[in-house]
Structure formats: C-alpha cells, structure tokens
Amino acid sequence: MERPSAKDLIKGFESGGVKGKKLHVLIVYAHQEPKSFNGALKDVAVEVLRELGHTVEISDLYAQNFNPLCTRNDIKGELLNPNHFNYSQETQNTYKNSTLPEDIVSEQEKLNRADLVIFQFPMYWMSFPAILKGWFDRVFTLGYAFTLEAMCDEGLLKGKRAMLSFTTGGRETEFTATGIRGDMEVILWPIQCGLLHFCGLEVLAPNIVYCPDCLDQSQREAVLQEWATRLRHIIQEKPLDFIPVDCFSASKGFQLSDEFLQSKRATGDVAPTVGQHMGKRFAVGSMIPQRLNTKD
C-alpha cells in the first residue's frame, strides 16, 4: 500500500486536503466494555476510516491486559546502575540496545506505522484511565519519543498526528470558563501540549462527548453520526497551533525568546497559548478550536 509521507500530509492539510491519499490509523482504545459509548465511537471510527480506504489498527488495552507499570521488569539483562534504579535512563539504554520488552516494542511498531493516532477513552479524574496513562509512561520511551534535544515540533514522533477522543462524566456546562470543573481547555493543556505536542505529534482538535449518560438513544446516534462526518474529512483538518520550539531560548532556560516577546503574538492583549499565558487574557480556542466557530 502506498502511504503519503508526513510532508505530503502536511501539504495536504495546508492546501485543504489531498484527495485519494490514504492513512494508516492507530486507535488506542481504553474501555472495558465493547458495548460502551467509547466502544461505539471506536467502532464508528474503524468502519468509516476503512470505508474511505484508510487502514486501521487497534490497541485494545484492557483486552490486551496491557501492563501500565514502569518497573525493573522492563529491563532484561544487567542494569546500567543496579544500586540506583532510574526507569527513564534504564529504558533509554534498553531502547538503544533493542532489548525493550515485547509488549512495548509491539506498541512502538504500531506507532511507527501510523500516520494518525486516535486515543479513545473515558476521562477519569481529568485525565487518562491508568491503563492508558501507563501506555504513555512505557511506550513513549526517552530516546524513542523524545530527547531533551528533540522536543515539541522537533520531537521524535513528528510527522504523525494525534487526537484525543473521549467521554466525560460531567456535562459540558461544568467544563466551561464559569463551570465547576473549570474550562476544558485548561484541563487539556497538560495532555495536548505537555505530552502529545512535546513528542512532536501534531494535535488535531479533540472529539469530546460530554456525559453520554445524559443523552437518549437518538441523541447518541446523532453524536455518532457527527463523529463519522468529521472522520470523513479528517485528512483536511489543520492541527492545533503551538509556539514553535525555536521561539524558546535555551540560554533562558527554554523561556520565550526576546525576539518572540517583541512579536505581535506576545505583545497583544490575549495570551499566546493557555500555558504560555504571560498573565494575559485567556487564549480561547487554542485547545478546542471549534469554540472559535460557535457562540460559546
């Protein structure tokens, strides 16, 4: 199968989509129950993407009984430092020697093949369920997914795209700038910037289904329909906009460079991003760009 290069893909997004280009999609799925709404969202994605001629692979973490724990068991053979176990250094070394455990290697190979990764999960405590958190802890090995020399838009997974697709227990009103849980854009910053973007993934807008328990059957079907429609045009989507790594100055401890601080983006009224807020007004739409197109 001919697959587009990352460069083609980016061009594709920029020019509004390349017709006929095919993607390889990895869905990392973390729900215990196939009949759940998360299961339905995953099934719709598989169906629609395959219909379009894309190929789809799934990591079904509970079904795989995926081990989320970062322990000594991940290092076969001798430790670099048996007197002081450092998971990150040991696995960096193990990765270099191609002796990571099979379950990690298998997930990294899936990731290597993927142009787009969709994470499908129920939000637990404003974040991933532990099984999916552990997938990142173990699979995004130092040296494989990032180094301190290669981060953000230079991260080692660059050229790939990623999207969070998740359900919440609370309703949408609770996740707003006046809601009891706080703005969902704040909640997504650590994940979308600190994890996905940090490793070089280009981040597509999240697919959020607030409180599926609050929906009746026809509303659920409408949500699945909307998801299918979005996926049909996924190749045309533009990723979120993060500040490029070369706007941060290593000599200032990776803070915004003097040059950037004098630019239009930094001298305006509104924060450049949610996290690089500079004490300014909130950057609405930087984590959930759809919000800019609605009255919300």
Rounded CA separation 260/244 (Å): 10
Rounded CA separation 39/34 (Å): 5
Longest CA–CA separation in the chain, Å: 60
Helix axes 217-232, 37-51, angle to 10 degrees: 30
The contact pattern for a copy of itself, residues 188-207, with x = CB under 8 A and - = no contact, is -xxx-xxx--x---------
Supply the minimum distance, in Å, between the C-beta of residue 228 and a copy of itself: 22
Structure-token pair, residue 92: 């960096």
Nearer to a copy of itself, 13 or 198 (CB): 198
Regarding 99 and contact with a copy of itself (CB under 8 A), the answer is no
Nearer to a copy of itself, 155 or 239 (CB): 155
What's the distance, CA 149 to chain centroid? 21
Q: Which residue in the set 58, 116, 187, 235 belongs to the binding site for a copy of itself (CB under 8 A)?
A: 187
Regarding 261 and contact with a copy of itself (CB under 8 A), the answer is yes
Regarding 186 and contact with a copy of itself (CB under 8 A), the answer is yes
Regarding 134 and contact with a copy of itself (CB under 8 A), the answer is yes
Count CB neighbours of 84 within 10 A.
Answer: 8
Regarding 93 and contact with a copy of itself (CB under 8 A), the answer is no
Rounded CA separation 221/41 (Å): 10
Contact 161, 94 (CB under 8 A): no
Q: Which residue in the set 3, 113, 179, 228 belongs to the binding site for a copy of itself (CB under 8 A)?
A: 179
Supply the minimum distance, in Å, between the C-beta of residue 187 and a copy of itself: 5
DSSP 31: -
| Footprint of a copy of itself on 24-83 (CB under 8 A) | 32-33, 35-36, 62, 68-72, 83
Supply the minimum distance, in Å, between the C-beta of residue 15 and a copy of itself: 30
Rounded CA separation 23/12 (Å): 12
Convert 124-134 to b/e letters by CB count within 10 Å (16 or more is b). Answer: bebebbebbbb
Supply the minimum distance, in Å, between the C-beta of residue 230 and a copy of itself: 25
Q: Binding segment for a copy of itself among 97-105, 108-116, 187-195, 222-230 (CB under 8 A)?
A: 187-195
Q: Which residue in the set 13, 276, 288, 289 belongs to the binding site for a copy of itself (CB under 8 A)?
A: 276
